[in-house]
């Protein structure tokens, strides 16, 4: 039965970076679609028959966030429903999972199973990359063509960097024919102390610097990232492949990528909030929430990442959502697991770039909605009359302090950090799938 109750969002600022639309509007949602989107007349709200009215003054409506780097424990109903609930709360309506799951996404049947299990008309959509090599062993290439037909967005070994240059060339050659990107976690594993062939090497724990020496932690040199990027860029040029680097974290990498883009290479990249909000000094407390991959870098690197976001060298901001169990994080730093949760803090930390004066809000929205959709060819509903009513509503200036105890995933490296900006409501096909108390209070009785 069709829902006969309309939803009127009164005096809300609608921003659509894809079309350049930015206007205070009155938006009417009818059924699954945006029935009307008109410039707000600013008049007092009057009761409308069969309408629920929300006074949305000072709020923003935009497309749902598209998060291109999310870790999923596996295609079980429990882990899928949990990640979808967290995403809905966070304003993420499309999320792309890495293939480092159980089972590993290195076969078309696993891709099809994941998509079938996660299919839900009124929940955030789960998409995935396919493994570039079997069991991400870095040597044996997977059936890229079959996984492409099954719907993967690209190929990557996820948190594992492909070390063998010939393997990388073959992966890029096939991916280029399939018109799919190759996504790389750029890290020379030998320099990082992660190469199994050198069993006497102590595993790297943080950025190599004077700080790591003082803390007595094993350092990973920043050049471990750019060495892989420079090699891969040459292979990408050779194969005409679309090459995408995830979690860029160093000044050297930004400089190399800036030059590559200027030369017209088909290269894109992303970073996550940890690398433009935090630096290596955070590890002085030995708090394992700050144990990430790549590791937190120097203040010089952090500022270079911000410059890269500002000038467009960095195309996307992703969450790098990698929740861990408390059991694996309460261990000594060297033994603790690597990674941290990120979905719930992606929006406010990205908006922090706006509040600090680095960019306007339209560009910030573009980095987490329009750009990832365009680069990875993810369909995202437009904000216009007749389009599906799938969007988010957020308060860009709502102040609060991130509290680990109130988050749905663990751990966050941003515990006790003051931020501004919160998702208040998530709509999918006209249905409100998440509603914050603040949004409920806007209802005009």
Q: Which residues are catalytic?
A: 320
Bridge partners of 156? 131
Buried b / exposed e along 376-402 (16+ C-beta atoms within 10 A): bebebbbbeeebbbbbbbbbbebeeeb
Q: Is 50 exposed, middle or buried (0-12, 13-18, 19+ CB in 10 A)?
A: exposed
Cα dihedral 39, 42, 43, 45, rounded to 10, equals: 80
Count CB-CB contacts under 10 A for residue 167: 18
Token look-up 């003082």 returns 214
User: What is d(CA 281, CA 127) in angstroms, rounded to the nearest whole number?
Assistant: 35
Q: Are 44 and 433 in contact (CB under 8 A)?
A: no
**Beta-sheet strands, E only, within 276-361:** 316-317
Q: Are 114 and 126 in contact (CB under 8 A)?
A: yes
Cβ neighbours for 188, distance < 8 A, ≥ 6 positions apart: 161, 163, 223, 224, 225, 227, 228
Q: Are 273 and 249 in contact (CB under 8 A)?
A: no
Cβ neighbours for 322, distance < 8 A, ≥ 6 positions apart: 71, 338, 339, 340, 341, 342
Bridge partners of 27? 9, 37
- Residue 35's closest CA among 388, 393, 375, 282? 388
Q: Helical H runs in 198-249?
A: 210-215, 223-239
Cα dihedral 290, 294, 299, 300, rounded to 10, equals: 180
């Amino acid at each position: 039965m069709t829902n006969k109750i309309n939803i009127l969002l009164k005096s809300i600022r609608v921003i659509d970076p894809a079309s350049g639309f930015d206007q205070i509007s009155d938006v009417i949602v009818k059924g699954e679609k945006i029935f009307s989107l008109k410039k707000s007349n600013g008049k007092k709200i009057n009761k409308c028959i069969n309408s629920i009215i929300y006074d949305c003054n000072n709020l923003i409506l935009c497309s749902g966030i598209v998060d291109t780097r999310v870790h999923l424990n596996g295609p079980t109903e429990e882990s899928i429903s949990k990640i979808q609930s967290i995403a809905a709360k966070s304003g993420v309506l499309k999320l792309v999972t890495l293939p480092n799951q159980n089972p590993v996404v290195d076969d078309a049947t696993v891709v099809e199973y994941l998509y079938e299990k996660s299919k839900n008309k009124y929940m955030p959509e789960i998409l995935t990359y396919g493994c570039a090599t079997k069991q991400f062993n870095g040597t044996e290439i997977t059936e890229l063509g079959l996984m492409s037909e099954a719907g993967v967005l690209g190929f990557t070994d996820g948190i594992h960097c492909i070390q063998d240059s010939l393997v990388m060339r073959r992966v890029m050659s096939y991916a280029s024919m399939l018109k799919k990107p190759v996504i790389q976690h750029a890290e020379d594993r030998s320099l990082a102390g992660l190469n199994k062939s050198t069993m006497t090497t102590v595993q790297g724990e943080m950025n190599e610097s004077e700080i790591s020496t003082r803390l007595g932690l094993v350092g990973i040199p920043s050049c471990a990232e750019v060495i892989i990027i420079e090699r891969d860029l040459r292979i990408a040029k050779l194969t005409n492949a679309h090459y995408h680097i995830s979690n860029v974290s160093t000044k050297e990498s930004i400089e190399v990528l800036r030059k590559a883009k200027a030369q017209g290479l088909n290269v894109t990249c992303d970073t996550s909030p940890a690398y433009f909000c935090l630096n290596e000094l955070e590890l002085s407390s030995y708090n394992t929430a700050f144990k990430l991959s790549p590791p937190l870098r120097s203040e010089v690197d952090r500022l270079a990442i911000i410059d890269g976001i500002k000038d467009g060298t960095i195309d996307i901001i992703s969450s790098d959502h990698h929740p861990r169990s408390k059991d694996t994080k309460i261990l000594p730093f060297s033994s603790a697991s690597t990674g941290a949760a990120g979905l719930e803090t992606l929006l406010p930390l990205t908006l922090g770039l706006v509040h600090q004066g680095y960019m306007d809000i339209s560009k910030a929205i573009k980095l987490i909605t329009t750009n990832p959709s365009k680069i990875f060819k993810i369909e995202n509903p437009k904000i216009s009359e007749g389009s599906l009513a799938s969007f988010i509503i957020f308060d860009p200036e709502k102040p609060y302090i991130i509290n680990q105890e109130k988050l749905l995933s663990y751990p966050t490296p941003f515990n006790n950090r003051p931020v501004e900006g919160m998702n208040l409501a998530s709509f999918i096909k006209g249905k409100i799938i998440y509603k914050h108390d603040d949004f409920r209070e806007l209802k005009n009785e």
